[in-house]
Amino acid sequence: MRKLFTLILLLSGIRILISCGNSNFSYNPERHFSNIEKDILTKFILCKDSSIIELPEGHFLFSQSLILDGKKNITIKGAGMEKTVLSFKDQQQGAEGIKIANCENIILEGFSVEDADGDNIKASDTDGITFRDIKVAWTGPLSEQNGAYGFYPVICNNVLIEECEAIGASDAGIYVGQSTNVIIRNNKAYANVAGIESENSEQVEIYNNEAFDNTGGILIFDLPGLSRYGKKVKMYNNYIHNNNQPNFGIKGSIVSTIPTGSGLVVLATRDVEIYNNHFANHKTINVGIISYEILAALAKEEEGDLKEQQAVAVAGVRGMDQNYKEDQNYDPFPGKVRISDNKFSNEYSLPNLQSDFGLLWISKLGLNIPDIAIDGIQAPQYFLPNGQLNPDYSICLENNGEILFVNLDAGNDLEGFTTEIPENICSPSL
Amino acid sequence: MKNSLLFILLCSFAFCQPKKAREETASPAQKERFDNSHLAALGKLKLSDYGFFKGELSDLLPAERVFPYELNTPLFTDYAYKKRFIYIPENSKMQYHPKETFAFPEGAVLIKNFYYPLDFRKAEGPKRIIETRLLIKEKQQWRSLPYIWSEDQKEAYLEVTGGQTQVSWINGKGEQQQNQYLIPNLNQCKSCHIKGQSISPIGPKARHLNRKVKSDQGEHNQLAYWEKQSILTKLPKPSEWPANAVWNNAQYSTDDRALAYLDINCGHCHNPEGPAKTSALDLTVFAQSNLERGINKAPIAAGRGAGNLQYDIVPGHAEASILWYRMNSDDPGIMMPELGRNMIDQEGVALIKAWIDQMGAPKNNI
C-alpha cells in the first residue's frame, strides 16, 4: 500500500495552498430559563413502573444528569420539541443530559435536550426505547467542545427513533450502537459530524430521513472487539445531501476520520441493502464502501511517520486497533452489500481538497467526483476454492442510473484503480 | 433557662400564626420533611432510627452486630475520609467468595460515612460528616439509601435527590483546601453500583478486605477476625486469600499499586458485565490481555473524552494516554470516573502516570 501513501503524501503538499472551509453554522434559539431541577429529579428517581413523567412547557436548566434506572413502562412527555426545553449547559455532574439504564419499554416524546457536557440522551441495557418528537442540539457555533452523541442508545433491543431532530453533535447526531431491532425513520440530522450512525447493530432499518450539512450523512459501521457485530441493515427512501460540513470531531474519535463531503460510508458491515435513496452534492463521495483494513493501514502508516518524528503525543488520524485480526468473530470486510435503484446527483465537480481522497480524485479523474467508491481490498476468502467470487463478499450495484464508480484497489498500491463497475454478483437471497 | 424561654416564646408565636404562614417560616430542609410520605416508603427518614451507633451519633461508635472494616485500596472521593461498617443481623453470616462480592444475609447493611477531619494531620480530631450511604440487603436485592448530615451534626436525613455543600480542611501538608462537595442522588448511586441488572456492593470482596487492621484488641486480619466472630463462613486457608496492593504504600510495586487503584476506582464500571462494557475496556485485576486493559486500544465512543489522543494507554507515554487524560480532568464531559468526584486525585494520577511512563514496549498478555 506504500504507493498510495506516497501519492497521498505528495498530494497533501498541495493542501496548504488551499484555504480551509470554515463553518458558518450556528444554532441560537432564544431561551428564558427557569429551574425545576429538584422536582423533575425527584420524579425520575421515585416514579413507579407504568407511569408518566410530565415535563411542563418552558425552558429549564439542570446542573446534573436526569437518570432513569431499572424502571418499566415509563413515558417521559413534554409539550412538544419546541415548547419544552431541557438545557444542561452549566452541568456540574454527570456527562449525559438524560440517561436511561436497565429499563424496559421507555418512551421519550415532545421535548428538546440541549448542551449536555457529554451525550444529550443516552440509553443503555434497555429493551424497548422510543424517541419521538425529540430535538437534541448543541447551541452556538459548531465546535469540537460540543458533546459527542445526540441520541445514543447502546446495547439496547427494540429501538425506535422517529420524527426527531439532531443538531451539532461532535460525533453522531443519531447514533445506535451494539443494538438489535432498530428503526430510524422520519428524522432530520444536520450540522453534526455524522448525521446518522448505525454501529455494530443488527436488524436496522433507516428510512425517510433527511441528513444534510453534516461531515458525513450516514455511517453504517462495524468495529472489532465489541459485544455485538453489525449486520442486516436496510436503508431506503432517505435524502442525503450536501454533507460538506468541515469535520469538527475530536481526534481519536472514529468519525474524525470521515472526510468532509461524505454521503454514506459503509464500513465492514454485512448484509446491507441501500435502495430508493437520493444522494446529492457531496464533495468527497456520495457512497463509500470500505474495509477496516484500509483504516487500519492508514492509521498505521501515519503512526509510523509520527514515531519517526518522535511526536507520539501529536495524534493525526484516529488510532486503530491493529490487533483487530485477533478478534475471531470480526470480519474487517464489507459483504453482501446491495446498492440499487438510488438516485445520484452532484452539483460539485471540484472535490474537497482537504481530504486525501479528494486529492486522489483530482489526480486520477480530473474534475469529477465519484458517486460510489470501494477500497477494493479483497478478503482472504474473496475467491471460493473453485475460483468463483465468494457471494459473502459481493458488492452489488443495480439501476442507479449514470454513476461514476471507483475501485481504489488499495490493497495493490492503486495499481488496479479503475472506474469499471465489476461484474455484478447480485444474489437473489439478499 | 434563657433558651427554653425563647423556645416557649417561639412556639406560642408559631401557634398563633395561621397554618400557611407557619409553613413559610420553616427552613427549606424542614419543609422538605413535612412532605416525606414518598420518602418514608423507601426507608427510615433518620439515620439514628436504625440504631447502628451508640452514644452521640456523630461519634460513629458501632453498636452490637455492627463491624468496622477497611479496604486495601479505597475509592477516591474528593479526599473525603470514610468510616465503613457492616451490620450483620443476629445468627447470620456473610459467605466468602474468592472473586466477587461476598454473599450477604437478608437484613445486612453496609454503612459508609463520608467526612472531612478539619485537619488531616489530626485525622481522629474534630471532623465534619457530610453524608452516610447505606446499602441494605433485602431478600433478593440490594437497595441504596443516601443520608445527608445536618450542619449541627446531630442527625442525618434521607435525601434522594442529593445535594452539594462547601467543605474545607487542612491537608497533610498543612495547606488549606476547599471543595464544593457533590452528594450523589439515589440514581447516581446505581450508576456505580449496578452489576448486570441489579445493585451490588463494590468494596466487600476478598482482595480488598484481606488486610491487617488495628482495633482495641490489637492488630488482626479482617477476614480471620470475622471468621472468629462467626460472621463469615466458607473462608479457605489463608494462602488462598487474594489481596490487592495498598495504592499509596511504596512497599508494593508500581504495577500492583496501579492495578489495585484502577480496580477499585474504575473496575466497578469497566468490567465485562459493568455499565462501561460498551467500551470493551476492562480495568479490574482480572483483565487478561493488553487490549482488554487498554494498552494500544483505540477508544469506542469516548467523544471529547478522547482528548485528541489515539489510545487508552500508550506504553511509556502517560500524556499521550486517554486513561491519564480523563483521570486528570475535572470537566464532567471528560473526567473519569464520571461521577463521585469534583476534584482530581493528584496522587492517584501521579501513580498512574508513573505506571504508564515506566511501561516498556508492549508485551503480549502481561
pLDDT in tens, B128-180: 999 999 999 999 899 999 999 999 999 999 999 999 999 999 999 999 999 99
Note the ipTM here: 0.78
For residue B161, which residues of chain A lie inside 8 Å, CB to CB? 38, 41-42, 45
Scanning the structure block, which residue is given the C-alpha cell 458533546?
A147
A163 vs B: CB within 8 A: no
Per-residue pLDDT tens digits for B99-138: 999 999 999 999 999 999 999 999 999 999 999 999 999 9
Measured between CB atoms, does B288 come within 8 Å of chain A?
no
Say whether residue B319 is in contact with chain A using an 8 A CB cutoff: yes
Q: Which residue of A has its CA nearest to B335?
A: A95
pLDDT at A430: 39
From B27, B338, B266, select the one nearest A92 (Cα to Cα): B338
Q: What kind and span of H or E run contains A358?
A: helix A356-365
Residue B1, SS3?
A: coil
pLDDT digits (tens, 9 = 90+) for B283-320: 999 999 888 999 988 888 887 888 889 899 999 999 99
At A32-45, the pLDDT tens digits run 999 999 999 999 99
Q: Is the pLDDT score of B5 beyond 50?
A: no
Hey, is the C-beta of B141 within 8 angstroms of any chain A C-beta?
A: no
The pLDDT of residue B11: 40
Scan for cell 425506535, then name that residue. A160
Query: Residues B239-274: pLDDT tens digits?
Result: 999 999 999 999 999 999 999 999 999 999 999 988
Separation CA B156–CA B152 (nearest Å): 10
* Residue A250 to residue B303, Cβ atoms within 8 A: yes
Contact B341, B77 (CB under 8 A): yes
Query: Which residues have C-beta within 8 Å of that of residue A215, sequence separation ≥ 6?
Result: A192, A193, A194, A243, A244, A245, A246, A247, A248, A249, A255, A258, A259, A260, A261, A262
Chain A interface mutation, best of B186, B269, B300, highest count of A Cβ atoms under 10 Å: B300
Q: What is the pLDDT of residue A368?
A: 95
B5-24: average pLDDT: 40
Asked if the model's pLDDT at residue B16 lies above 70, the reply is no
List the one residue out of A364, A286, A351 whose CA is nearest residue A18.
A351
Interval A150-180: pLDDT, tens: 999 999 999 999 999 999 999 999 999 999 9
Asked if A225 lies within 8 A of B297 by C-beta distance, the reply is yes
Cell (9 digits) for B202: 463494590
**Which phi and psi (to 5°) does residue B165 adopt?**
-155, 145
How much is the pLDDT for B9? 42
Residue A394, C-alpha cell as written in the block:
459481493
Question: Using a CB-CB distance cutoff of 8 angstroms, which residues of chain A are in contact with residue B188?
Answer: 64-65, 67, 93-94
pLDDT at B212 over 90: yes
Find how far residue A236's CA is from the centre of its chain: 16
Which percentage of chain B shows pLDDT scores above 70? 89
pTM value?
0.85
CA distance B309 to B298: 9
How confident is the prediction for chain B on average, in pLDDT? 89
Question: In chain B, what residues touch A312 (CB-CB under 8 Å)?
Answer: 314, 317, 320
What's the distance, Cα to Cα, between the start and end of chain A in Å?
Answer: 32
Beta-bridge mates of residue A53: A76
Helical residues (DSSP H) of A71-134, grouped into ranges: none
The three grid cell numbers given for residue B152, joined into one nine-digit string:
449541627
Query: What's the pLDDT at A21?
Result: 52
What percent of chain A is modeled with pLDDT above 90? 76
List of chain A residues with pLDDT < 70: 1-22, 300-323, 423-430
A2-30+138-412 domain in CATH 1.10.1760? no
User: d(Cα A111, Cα B40) in Å, to the nearest integer?
Assistant: 32
Instruction: Tell which of B144, B161, B288 to mutate to test the A interface (max A CBs under 10 Å).
Output: B161
**Cβ neighbours of B186 in A, within 8 Å:** 45
Q: Please give the pLDDT value at position B83.
A: 97
**Which pLDDT value is given to residue B97?**
97
* B104 sits in which H/E element: none
**What pLDDT, on the 0 to 100 scale, is given for residue A333?**
95
Q: Parse chain A into domains and list their residue ranges.
A: 2-30+138-412
> Is the predicted pLDDT of residue B14 greater than 70, yes or no?
no
pLDDT at position B62 over 90: yes
CB within 8 Å of chain A, chain B residues 344-363: none
Chain A residue at shortest CA distance from B304:
A250
Which cell goes with A155?
A: 446495547
CA atoms of B227 and B67, how far apart (whole Å): 12
What are the E-state strand segments in A222-349?
Answer: 231-236, 239-241, 262-267, 270-275, 278-280, 285-290, 335-340, 343-345
What DSSP string describes B150-215? Answer: -TTSS-EEE-TT-EEEEEEEE-TTS-EEEEEEEEPPHHHHHHHHEETTEE--SS-BHHHH-SEEEE
Which of B255, B344, B341 shows the shortest CA–CA distance to B295?
B255
